[in-house]
Amino acid sequence: MKKVVVGMGTCGMSAGAQAVYDKLQDLAAGTPGACELTISGCIGMCYAEPMVEIREDGSRVFYGNVTPQRAEEIFRSHVQDDEPLTEDEIVYLEKADGTVGGTEAAFLAQQQRIVLRNCGTINPESIEDYENAGGYRGLRKALLEMTPEGIIQEMKDSGLRGRGGAGFPTGLKWSFTAGHEADRKYVVCNADEGDPGAFMDRSVLEGDPHAVLEGMIICGRAVGSDFGYIYCRAEYPLAVRRLNMAIDAAREKGYLGENILESGFNFDVKIRQGAGAFVCGEETALFASIEGKRGMPRIRPPFPAEKGLWQKPTNNNNVETFANVAWIIDRGAAAYASFGTEKSKGTKVFALAGKTAHGGLVEVPMGTTINDLVFKIGGGIKKGGTFKAVQMGGPSGGCIPAALGDTPVDFENIPATGAIMGSGGMVVLDESTCMVEMARFFLEFTQSESCGKCTFCRIGTLRMFEILERIVNGEGQPDDIDKLSSLGGQIKEASLCGLGQTAPNPVLTTLRYYLDEYRAHIEDKSCPAGVCTALVDFHIDPEKCTGCGLCAKNCPVQAISGEPKKVYVIDNSICTKCNRCVTSCSFDAVYKR
Amino acid sequence: MSDNFSFQLWRYEGEPGELIPLLQSAQNHFGYIPRRAIRYISGVTGIPESDIYGVITFYSQFRLRPTGKLHIRACDGTACHVSGSRLIIETIEDELGISVGDTTEDGLFTLHTVACIGCCSLAPVIMINDETHGNLNPASLRKLLRKIRRREERTEVTASSHGR
């Protein structure tokens, strides 16, 4: 029987997957025995959501941008009459003999999916689906055939490094926690994915929650802990719901609780929802938040491996790191280490967003170049724009210019550009992005998210933000560039946690690669990208203006004149640049230059 | 709304880490955290009201004022930002006559910005209560807000005529 699978991650749902699912459910109910309807997480092609997959005898056919109407066509033609729609309507197909096709095959062809092995394939709400895909095999092996030392050695041999951004070797980290004796130890999973523009962890939690649980249980065994916390971002309600379902199912099947798989090992897990504080992605702040306090970081040492959550030895890894663990134990360290570069083994998940043609989630071997990610997988720039830069690592990261597009993405080469690997957010920018405004945007974010503990982070980021504000407002002063770089250096030196230590990065990297844009703002009072409102004039495009007069009606200073049904004109000597004409035009006719 | 809040308070066993989950269920129950909820929580947990206030104001999720019936969360994450979220936020402010953080006089809309909703491929995006609206521009956004306002006004009229 055919299996009809609707992608129901947050990206699919927000594109309208629920209506598609409801439609298919009605149709399936009307023709009993025609198909089995089920759901999956996100396969990564967020740009083609909602997606519907028809699976039969080992072949998979994916339709993209499905509306309820199209769903009916697909159902009538493909499911009932066995006639798939034409090739150009299929975004991806995989035949039983392994050949692939479809209009978007290039998106998946370059990928190597370990973390995302089950995302978009299994039903995340079914533990049986996970087991059938090889789930909990790694746990069985770890508990029944391996010693804790053996597990840690395997992790060390795999070369896995923390995927939260810092890239600390995972096996080594585990050995530290294992080496401290205590009546209680904790395993913490950091799912507080705070970088705007990053959604890797959300997709894993929504698409394959058991993989994260299995990794945590194996870690518990290795470090000698019997209790774990998952600290999940509050903005991810679907992830929390699926995690809760997974925990209940795992408990029922005996993978969580007492005497797991009759090995004598006990482990249980609790979910804690964050409450909206970026700094809680920092581990000591995260522990404070779990303890019910204001999420402020503290001085290390003592390191969490010795005194972490509730002052007990604690091992903290992020979602993606844990999602790798069961695969490594099951297939062996050597298989994992065969991917990637000499010092950065394995794969990395990236969230492609911004001006990329194909926004979504991709997993590639470490060492893949930026150009490959942007062009081969991402399909280049939307609407024929020109590739200008990628922003990696969110507010803690930096911009890497297109000229450095050959840089391999790994823990050695990315930091050399001044950016950081970060957790995997990759926002693609085109020529319509002003780099100074971009830096201002990130500083506004880190400035408001600074917890306030360290003076340099609290006040220094505010000063940097103020300087950037005045530059984009056309009030930049000649020594502003020097001030920004010296402040940036001081904040990095004198802050306690990762937030402050990396907050100046977006400014420092743009100063390094786009100094001329800063100069243009300060010296010529112009914004080359035409973004900074104070530095541009407003015009009406005669091609697009329909003469409706709405802009003139909305203009608070009567700077717009014209007659109905003729092209209106803006008098820039009166204009106060309030933007109301832009927001009121229904025809996208007002532009800035 | 089920009274999960009282249940959680009743179940409280003295673990200080429960404070944030308690505040979250209070906010779910009331729509914000009223003064009396702080007093209850303090009474049950023994945590001073001042400390609870400190925790509430540290986290951006918690609100001390009620929101309107429809809560607009405009995304200003990186991907939305480069796709014009500023313009989207300005359009909402202009259309509804409020600033970020405010509620319209009729109590219908409250506007907040958020750092990232996580559907970056639909940028620019806003959420109205639990519904996501993507690929917006000023014109489609104004249309959407007006449609919602008309729908709300209609249901209100129907509701009040039924009331009589």
User: Which member of A274, A292, A586 has the closest CB to residue B19?
Assistant: A292
Cβ of A14 and B132 within 8 Å? Answer: yes
Q: How far apart are CA B74 and CA B92, in angstroms?
A: 9
Residues A470, A476: contact at Cβ < 8 Å?
yes
CA distance A474 to A324: 49
Nearest C-alpha neighbor of A187 from the set A296, A322, A285, A295: A322
In the predicted model, is pLDDT for residue A170 greater than 70? Answer: yes
By Cβ distance, the residue of B60, B121, B134 closest to A353 is B121
Q: Is the confidence at residue B164, as pLDDT, over 50? A: no
DSSP A86: P
**So what's the pLDDT on residue B117?**
80
Q: Which of B70, B75, B152 has the alpha carbon at shortest distance from A199?
A: B75
Say yes or no: B78 contacts chain A, CB-CB below 8 A. Answer: yes
Please identify among residues 278-317 of chain A the ones whose CB lies closer than 8 Å to any CB of chain B.
Answer: 278, 289-295
What is the spatial distance between Cα A499 and Cα A464, in angstroms, rounded to a whole number?
A: 15
Instruction: Assess A270–B contact: CB distance below 8 Å, yes or no.
Output: no
pLDDT category at B69 given cuts 50, 70, 90 is very high
Calpha distance A466→A349 (Å, rounded): 35
Write b or e for each residue in A198-223: b if 16 or more Cβ atoms lie within 10 A of its Cβ, otherwise e: bbbbbbbbbbbbbbbbbbbbbbbbbb
Do residues A54 and A102 lie in contact, with contact meaning Cβ atoms separated by under 8 Å?
no
| CB-CB neighbors (< 8 A) of B138 in chain A | 582-586
Cβ of A561 under 8 Å from any chain B Cβ? Answer: no
How far, in Å, CA of A270 to CA of A471, rounded?
A: 47
Bridging pattern class, strands A314-318 and A268-273: unpaired
Of B20, B118, B139, the CB nearest to A289: B20
Tell me the C-alpha distance between B153 and B135, whole Å. Answer: 26
Contact A202 B118 (CB under 8 A): yes
Half-sphere exposure for A104 (CA within 13 Å, toward CB): 26
pLDDT tens digits, one per residue of A367-387: 999 999 999 999 999 988 899
Q: How many CB atoms lie within 10 A of CB A370?
A: 26
Question: Are the CB atoms for B67 and B101 separated by under 8 Å?
Answer: no
Instruction: Tell me the average pLDDT across B65-80.
Output: 91
Whole-number pLDDT of residue B14: 79
Percent pLDDT > 70 in chain B is: 95
- Tell me what pLDDT residue A160 has: 97
Q: What tens digit of pLDDT does each residue of A17-75 get?
A: 999 999 999 999 999 888 999 999 989 998 999 999 999 998 999 999 999 999 999 99
pLDDT in tens, B49-61: 999 999 999 999 9
A229 vs B78, residue with greater confidence = A229
Distance, in Å, from the CA atom of A340 to the CA atom of A344, rounded to the nearest integer, reads: 6
Percent of all residues in chain A with a pLDDT value above 90, rounded to a whole number: 85
Q: Which of A13, A194, A586 sits opposite B139 (nearest CB)?
A: A586
pLDDT digits (tens, 9 = 90+) for A389-401: 999 988 989 999 9
What is residue B3's predicted lDDT score, i.e. its pLDDT?
66
Q: Across chain A, what does the average pLDDT equal? A: 94
Q: Nearest residue on chain A to B89, judged by CA atoms?
A: A583
Query: Is the minimum CB–CB distance between A591 and chain B shorter than 8 Å?
Result: no
B92 touches chain A (CB under 8 A): no
Neighboring chain B residues of A202 at a CB cutoff of 8 Å: 118
B135 close to A (CB below 8 A): no
- Measured CA to CA, the distance from residue A441 to residue A422 in angstroms comes to 18
pLDDT, residue B163, reads 44
- Amino acid identity for residue A532 in this structure: C
Alpha carbon A317 to chain centroid distance? 16
CB contact, 8 Å: B64 with chain A?
no
The dihedral sign for the CA sequence B37, B40, B44, B46: positive
Torsion angles phi and psi, residue A81, rounded to 5: -95, 0
Taking the CA of residue A5 and the nearest CA in chain B, the distance in Å comes to 20
Q: Residue A124: what pLDDT?
A: 97
What is the 8-class DSSP label of residue A150?
Answer: H
Per residue in A48-63, is it b (16+ CB within 10 Å) or e — as a string? Answer: bbbbbbbbbeeebbbb
pLDDT at B162: 56
Nearest to B134 among A14, A353, A432 (CB): A14
pLDDT tens digits, residue range A498-507?
A: 999 999 999 9
Q: Between vectors from CA A219 to CA A216 and to CA A225, what angle results, nearest 5°?
A: 95
Q: How many contacts does A have with B, using Cβ atoms within 8 A?
A: 146
Q: Which residue has the higher pLDDT, B10 or B3?
A: B10
Which tens digit of pLDDT belongs to each residue from A466-491?
Answer: 999 999 999 999 999 999 999 999 99
Confidence of residue A86 (pLDDT cuts 50, 70, 90): confident
From B20, B91, B114, residue closest to A275, measured CB to CB: B20
Distance spanning both ends of chain B, measured CA to CA? 26
List the beta strands (DSSP E) in A117-226.
Answer: 186-191
* Cβ contacts of B125 on chain A, cutoff 8 Å: 14
- Residue B2 pLDDT level (bands cut at 50, 70, 90): very low
Q: What angle do CA A381, A383, A384 make, to 5 degrees?
A: 65
Note whether A220 and A187 are within 8 A (CB): yes
For residue A100, the SS3 value is: strand
| Interface contact B119-A11, CB threshold 8 A | yes
Residues A492-498 have a mean pLDDT of: 94
pLDDT band at residue A143 under the 50/70/90 scheme:
very high
- B70 is written with which tokens? 């429809």
* Percentage with pLDDT > 70 across chain A: 100
pLDDT at A394: 87
* C-beta atoms of B119 and A10 within 8 A: yes
